[in-house]
Amino acid sequence: MELLPLPLEVEEARIRVQGTELYFLFREDPATEAVDRPAMVFVHGNTGSCRWWDLVLNVPGHHSYALDMPNFGFSGAAEDSDIGLYADYVAGFIEALELTRPILVCHSLGGAVGLELAARNPEGYAGLVLVDSSAPSGLVTPEEHYPAIQLFRTNKEVLGAALGAVMPGLADPTRKQMLVDLAFGMDGDAFEGNARALAHFSVTGRLEAFAAPVLVLWGDKDAIITRAMVDETLEEFAPGIAEAIIIEGCGHSPMVEVPEQFREILGDFVARVQ
């Protein structure tokens, strides 16, 4: 596997959470104001890893941490593929790093994890950014798609074609291959398990108490998440809490397709979060 060098000031580390070793990237801003502003925790999506975020961790005035959840990337395995279990690990990661009320930035399946965390602990986070996220009612994969999903665990070409379809704007072939290689190393049972977990996930009716700012980002060329799912997400929060930004011409993964635009949008949002 060819790993691209990490961007300047981004470092890597490991930490043990609930008996499982988790790999993560971090960038700690040396600016004084970063001490008094909430840290940012980045949660990847299905077949993802912390390397999906490495180009957007440079958010001035904030420390940033991006983990590989168990079953993904360079972290250890979990005993199951389950949104609630992944949320347990992310909460444990935040506790282990002694982060107070961080801002969660969550992509796709990671969005379901972020929604679960927000529902469980509505006062525990300073903000929530949902990037082409699962809807609060989950994301159902049609049964006829599961044979193809099973192929992902043994056929890297099929997996690569599927990932290419969800990040159509990523033009760098070396970076794309790195993300495919990392996805291919995901725990084999998690390929189907994660899809089943999203189908059974729901926080519908559990988000009204979450009062921190919420930003919903969506690429209008996303082949997985629909505009109706974006509207559903906005409606689950109390009035005035959540806003949406549509990124035109972008697919499911703006952090790798349009990283500069993504970082600008994220920076504008977190500048308003206390």
Domain borders along the chain are: 11-270
> For position 31, what pLDDT does the model report?
83
Q: What is the pLDDT of residues 228-256, one digit of tens each?
A: 999 999 999 999 999 999 999 999 999 99
Nearest to 242 by CA among 233, 229, 254: 233
Quote the tokens at residue 19: 């008996």
The CATH code of the domain at 11-270 is 3.40.50.1820
- The answer to whether the predicted template modeling score (pTM) of the entire model surpasses 0.85 is yes
Collapse the DSSP code of 274 into the 3-class scheme (helix H, G, I; strand E, B; otherwise coil) and give the result: coil
Do the beta carbons of residue 107 and residue 255 sit within 8 Å? Answer: yes
> For position 34, what pLDDT does the model report?
77
CA distance 11 to 127: 24
CA distance 99 to 91: 10
In 72-153, which residue ranges form alpha helices assigned H by DSSP?
Answer: 83-96, 109-120, 146-152
CA distance 202 to 249: 29
Residue with tokens 């070793």: 21
Q: What separation in angstroms does the CA of 239 have from each of 26, 136, 270?
A: 34, 16, 20
Quote the tokens at residue 154: 């043994």
Residue 117: phi and psi, rounded to 5, are: -65, -40
Q: What is the pLDDT of residues 143-179, one digit of tens each?
A: 999 999 999 999 999 999 999 999 999 999 999 999 9
Q: What is the pLDDT of residues 54-99, one digit of tens each?
A: 999 999 999 999 999 999 999 999 999 999 999 999 999 999 999 9
CA distance 45 to 43: 7
Q: Annotate 228-252 with b (16+ C-beta within 10 A) or e (fewer).
A: ebbeebbebbeeebbeeeebeebbb
